[in-house]
A and B are shown apart, each in its own frame.
Chain A
Amino acid sequence: TQLLEQSPQFLSIQEGENLTVYCNSSSVFSSLQWYRQEPGEGPVLLVTVVTGGEVKKLKRLTFQFGDARKDSSLHITAAQPGDTGLYLCAGVSNTGFQKLVFGTGTRLLVSP
């Protein structure tokens, strides 16, 4: 069974602080996606990383895929209240047809 562990589970910070969320697994994934989910809504795709070692930047968000394609990280610079939400990593199974294995989630609260 493929599992993705995220840390930390909860993060409460002040506006302007930096933070990093980690997503780790013992399994290899063909690619990894990051989503953000707000209460009462479905997850919204932020980025897909495909190549081991890949780094992608989306404004203040930086995503990295581990060299072995087993782990990933999300770094937010100068967090804003609008960044508040549940952050989910999701690995695309290496075993065949498209199936997402979701991480355990990181709930972020950014206070003004």
Chain B
Amino acid sequence: KAGVTQTPRYLIKTRGQQVTLSCSPISGHRSVSWYQQTPGQGLQFLFEYFSETQRNKGNFPGRFSGRQFSNSRSEMNVSTLELGDSALYLCASSPREGYGYTFGSGTRLTVV
């Protein structure tokens, strides 16, 4: 069965630009979460979606946003990019609460 697919794998953007990252969860998984991973801060929770509704949001500025579509695919958007947004962005899906997550390989975003 296909895993969690994230596209693109690598991205280089300039400060001030915006970026959209995509995540296709495992078929049948309705919960999709996004995490930011940096060497200094580790893995930090961005937001979680379930059936197109954002149920939980981490402590990130409003420049970070996301959405989930009816087929459970999710996108996250970062506007007005800053150098500090350079990170590995990970998407994870889960069939329901209490179950472990399956993570994608991530999108490595570099802001220059």
- A residues whose Cβ falls under 8 Å from a Cβ of B: 30-31, 33, 35, 40-45, 48, 50, 88, 90, 92, 96-105
Contacts and interface: CB of A to CB of B under 8 A. Distances in A.
B92 A42 contact: yes
Contact of A98 (B42, B90, B94): B94
A98 B56 contact: yes
Given A97-B50, A98-B48, A45 B101 contact: yes
Contacts of B42: 102-105
Contacts of A98: 31, 33, 48, 55-56, 94, 97-98
B110 interface: no
Nearest to B94: A98
Contact of B100 (A40, A41, A45, A103): A45
Contacts of B90: 42-43
Given A33-B100, A40-B105, A43-B103, A97 B55 contact: yes
The SS class assigned to the B binding surface is strand
Contacts of A101: 45
Contacts of B99: 48
A103 B31 CA distance: 21
A91 B112 CA distance: 34
A97 B56 contact: yes
A88 B43 contact: yes
Nearest to B98: A31
Contacts of A35: 103
B102 interface: yes
Given A99-B56, A100-B45, A105-B42, A44 B103 contact: yes
